[in-house]
Amino acid sequence: MNLSVAEAASPAAEPVMRRPSLAGRTRAGLDEALAEIGVPEKERRMRVGQLWNWIYHYGVRDFQEMTTIGKGLRAQLAERFTLDLPEVTAEQVSTDGTRKWLLRMAPTGPRDRGAEIECVYIPEVDRGTLCVSSQVGCTLTCTFCHTGTQRLVRNLTTEEIVTQLMVARERLGDFPNRAAPDGAFVPNDGGRFVSNIVFMGMGEPLYNFDGVRDAIGVISDNEGLSLGRRRITVSTSGVVPQIEALGAQMGTMLAISLHAVRDDLRNELVPLNKKYPIKDLLEACRNYPGLSNAKRITFEYVMLKGVNDSDAEARELVRLLKGIPAKINLIPFNPWPGTRYECSDWERIERFSEIVFKAGYASPVRTPRGRDILAACGQLKSETEKLSARARLMLEQDEAETATVAH
Ligand code: SAH
Ligand code: SF4
């Protein structure tokens, strides 16, 4: 171990591990915490209910505010645990109102400085969508995705997923009876706070199945954070064996990152396709539990210039999806420094979209949001690998040249 002189000489050389936080825990996790401090089993169910209400409904950050719990127990809890949320190390606001938070997770061990992840809030007229991460980085290496180039990868815990929503609610002043912190954005035009969640940040959610499932359990619990499962979308690059379980155990909306209509091209763009080819993926989609016209699958298709954006590919896309209740989401490619791809020209995207639309599919082109703060799809990457000023400038120029389209 390489210790600097100051560290070696200091009596505080042994890093002090922080007290664990209860924020983000499942009911079972809270029960465990109460057992640890000796609360008798017969009392625990009621205590879990109280903690749940304070933590998730009211968003309190101090045990002393839990007035339905006796002083003694409050003190015991405070001695052993905290209600800390991940630290917001940076908050950026895009010119279009999109907000990106860089969050530092609690260290997992003495030598860990705490992984950093990003979480993005996208306000729209009729909704507010929070884009959350399921992993630090991603083990899959989709060639057009910036996240896939990050080296450090681990699953986020249930707590680390749930607390992304808690941070957003806190930063937006969206917990009842709690004042918004300085600089918070509080919609005052009747707009929504966080009404929807998409697992479209860093990571492949189905590679962290248990963590994501339990987090969705906490988030959708209607005595707490109360965000319904129909308002939660899990996006996958196509982990076929887990798709049925996703529908059965999580009951959320499903999004598939399709991006190509032929296996040879999809093998290149989404290498996981070599394991689970398009035919198997679409078969799993047809069998997705609960699928109906009211509960459609979203197919994401990133528009890459000269790669996957021809008329013939648009027609093939429509043919492939025949019989599946589907929405098609065309995503203009968001460039990042060093990428070999370019975004399709606007006329091309419109033409592609028209073919899809004429075949009877809603085909909204996802307006790029938050490009100026690198918060758009596939641009999420930790602070440790910040962009050079020049790269940022290139992106800004690109942003200035990009028109938006609404269908
Ligand atoms: N790993 C999951 C979820 C996170 S990615 C998945 O792949 O589905 C969220 C979406 O952003 C996916 O559809 C992904 O293909 C897309 N995406 C990744 N990089 C992008 C980029 N540079 N431009 C536009 N979309 C991108
Ligand atoms: Fe991972 Fe999704 Fe990016 Fe592919 S697109 S590398 S699965 S985060």
Measured from CB, residues less than 6 Å from any atom of ligand 1 are 138, 142, 144-146, 200, 204, 235-237, 257, 300, 302, 331, 333-334, 377-378
pLDDT of residue 121: 92
| Residue 347: active-site member | no
Which atom of ligand 1 is closest in space to residue 379's alpha carbon? 22
Q: What is the percent of the chain where pLDDT is above 70? A: 82
pLDDT of residue 131: 96
Q: Is the pTM of this model over 0.75?
A: yes
| Residue 110 pLDDT class (50, 70, 90 cuts) | confident
Ligand 2 site, residue 118, Cβ cutoff 6 A: no
Phi-psi region of 306 (alpha: psi -120 to 50; beta: other; left: phi over 0): left
Helix (H, G, I), strand (E, B) or coil at 49: helix
| Residue 204 pLDDT class (50, 70, 90 cuts) | very high
**178-187 average pLDDT score:** 61
H/E stretch holding 256 reads strand 253-257
| Residue 126 pLDDT class (50, 70, 90 cuts) | confident
**253-259 average pLDDT score:** 98
| Residue 177 pLDDT class (50, 70, 90 cuts) | low
For 75-90, what is each residue's pLDDT tens digit?
999 999 999 999 999 9
pLDDT of residue 262: 98
Structural domains of the chain sorted by starting position, each given as residue range(s) with its CATH number in brackets: 19-83 (1.10.150.530), 87-387 (3.20.20.70)
| Residue 116: active-site member | no
242 alpha carbon to ligand 1 midpoint, in Å? 18
140 alpha carbon to ligand 2 midpoint, in Å? 6
Choice among 159, 343, 377, 399 that is catalytic: 377
149 alpha carbon to ligand 2 midpoint, in Å? 9
145 alpha carbon to ligand 2 midpoint, in Å? 6
**Measured between alpha carbons, how far is 141 from 148 in angstroms, rounded to an integer?**
5
Which atom of ligand 2 is closest in space to residue 145's alpha carbon? 3
For 294-332, what is each residue's pLDDT tens digit?
899 999 999 999 999 999 999 999 999 999 999 999 999
